[in-house]
Structure 1
Amino acid sequence: MKKTLILTLLIISTALLLPACDVFASSEDGTGPIQGSGHIAAREVSVAPELGGKVVEINAAEGDPVQKGDVLIRFDNEIYKAQYQQALAAVGSAEAAVETTKAQLEAAKINYDMAEQGVRYQEQPARNANWLVPQPEAFVLPGWYYEKDETIAAAENEVSQAETDLATELANLDRELANASNADLIAAETRLAEARATYSIALQTLAQTQAAQDNAKLEEIAQEQVDASLSELEAAQLDYDLMLSSTAYNDVLDARGRVAVARTRSDNARDALDQLQTGEDSLQLKAAAAAVQQAATGVSQAEAGLEQARAALQVLEVQLAKTEVLAPASGVVLARNLEVGEVAGAGSAGLVIADLDQVELTVYIPEDRYGQVQLGQSATITVDSFPGEKFEGTVIRIADQAEFTPRNVQTVDGRKSTVYAIVISLPNSEWKLKPGMPADAVINVGP
């Protein structure tokens, strides 16, 4: 894997120190070039990691020149490497999950096609017979008049109404059975029902003993049970018959009859609906369609999981790259605040670099020459370290407000004077000019 080294920096542009500067000298008539002195200053960059950790390598000391992009600090990255491998494996697992769910989706689609083919084949006889089925005489419209979905909707409505009516009749029966005046009838009904059940089982048992080998004793015992259950059945039936002339009997009989009819209506309505749910409306095909939808959802979820795994991997790639801190600019190391083996916190300044490619010189002009200085004017700078050599600069900033002469001016009268700060920018590709170096400047303001 090719590492992408991402510089993690907190670049703090420090205010240029106002060095000891002389107020510019000028000719007595206030014309001609403006001269003055100051000290070279450079933009300082604080290099700090975004991720904390143990320092394992520092490649620059104070005073060392560095180039933009140089690796200055390395942190222990073993944990990040392990996490990266884990995230890489998670991506592979997520990719496999996507392929698996896609295969499941294809299988579900095939099953749907097979189900559709099957239900249409099953429906073919019904389609052929639709026009041949005789209609009730009360039907004025022909059988083909309504669309299938309309017929199904009507059948569903009939199922709903039939179930509602059945629930109503069951409630009516419960009220009749709960009526205290019907207690004797209910007891007789219960006794008769139990006697019928006992007698039926006794007959079944007798038939089994008659089919057995060496069954004489078995048949004798089974016959005794049949006789006893028959006697109870006859007694229960007699007891029940005595109730037939009572009002309670008629009420309960009517309630039970209504329940039986309502239940049959409900069953018939469901059967009619089931017969209509063929072809595309069959439950089998709907189940196959639901399986396709579920498989498609599985694919979407797997793809989302893959994107999440890839995002996690990308985060680890970034974090791994951030364990190497690169130089943001070419310059000279002014300060080194870390040593190998130390644990640095995120955001703590490890190195301070002075950007020497472009330096500045701040000088001050008297108030009566302020109007003669303009942005972009050229200036010539000389330094004692390179006698006879001139450096060209440009006025890049003119103060908007006046200030008193810096306090390091020697005379009281000089300190009481108001002046304006002028900042001159100088290209310094060869790094000859160093921070703090005294310099003299002449601003070319014209004749």
Structure 2
Amino acid sequence: MRLAKLRPVLGAAVVLAAFGYAVWRTRLPDVDDGAVRGSGVIEATEVIIAPRISGRLAEVVVNEGDTVKAGDLIARLDTSELDAQVAQLEAAVKVAEARLEAALNGARPEQIEAARAALAQANAAIAGAQAASRTARTGFERTTELRAAHDAATMRVKAAEAQLADAEQALALVRSGARSRQVDQARAAVQQAEVALRKAETDLRRVEGLSRDGAVSDQQRDAATAARDAAAAQLNQAKAALADLEAGARPEELRRAELAVVQAKANLEAARLAERSAAEALSDRLSPRSALDAANTTLQTARAQARAARAQLDLLLAGTRPEEVRAATEQSQQTRETLRLARVQRSHCFLYAPTNGVVKTRMAEPGETVTIGSPVAVLLDSTRPWLRVFIPESRYGLIKIGDRATVTADSFPNRQFEGRVVEIASEAEFTPKNVQSPEERVKLVFGVKIDLRNAGDALKPGMPADAVIAVR
């Protein structure tokens, strides 16, 4: 009778014991089948989208919850100032390259051809003078030839006078130096370059102060330094141009102009002498010796002209001086580097998604001024989901980095996802409050991170999931 009364109690005890065991099995990982089990929530790596330069936010093209792919535009800073700076530097590069090309190429082909033509003309004059010398021996015997010679001598006198006037005018221009308008323009360019340098130095001091406070990057400070250096180089170039105008012509140019005047005077004197000789020969049949002397003088004059033409041609063929070529090369390189830096700065105005993901938070709006590193948006990297489970202290030694894990999620009950253990906490902690009951939260556990990057885009942050870790 007593046994019959105890049977219902024993049955209830067995049921309660089985239920308790089932609960214990679901809450406590075990290794009876060579695996450790744990539960957790799917998480994803947060990627903060922040600018590398400061500026005004012109556009934010994503909203919270949007799905983006790697390379998609997230936001854009205002580029108007940088656009103008790039355009200005592109024009400066063209000017610098044109100056370098002119320095490398030297004189224009037309100038060289003109110099060669002048030399050929001088050589022809020599040949003519030599022929005149040969015919001078017999010229006095024929009156008609003497009359023609006198007429030709008169024409040469007029030509020599015109040549002397041109040479004296050219010498006066060389001695007078640059026109006042050119000097005024050069001085204005120096003043403008000084203003630009002061502004660049002020900007550099401001950027350096902000850099010491951590408000700007080293790259911005370098950009301000480069701008200051470019302004200084522009000022030096403007000062050199002004000094060149104020200094007037180079000594060799002045000497060449003076030589031209001397040569023109000699030509005129020789022409007048030839004219007098021709007149005398026409009137009283000039002696052969005097005619020969006049022809020799003409020949010497022609040879002097040929030497001057050769010197001019050699000067043009020698090209630009090496120091001018070096200065033009350095200016071109500096301008190109400044342009490259400006283009890099402009590219930083466009913020792109570094990976596939979902926009978790939109943290800034168009019109706001953002600084370096200030978040504009936060992405959840959907290409690398992961699961964190908590393993009791007693199972800590069973798990190793690289252990394979099979993960299932309530949203996909018939699907398994493969993963690997990539991180094991080095310090124990109490079970998080959102994972276990109050009794379980006082136990020490170790967090284990399971990488699920091969799961595709099925698993989403916040999904509950279970993991079975195969222990070795």
Question: What TM-score do the two structures reach when normalised by structure 2?
Answer: 0.47
Greater helix proportion:
2
- Please give the TM-score of this superposition, normalised by the length of structure 1: 0.50
The structure whose Rg is larger is: 1
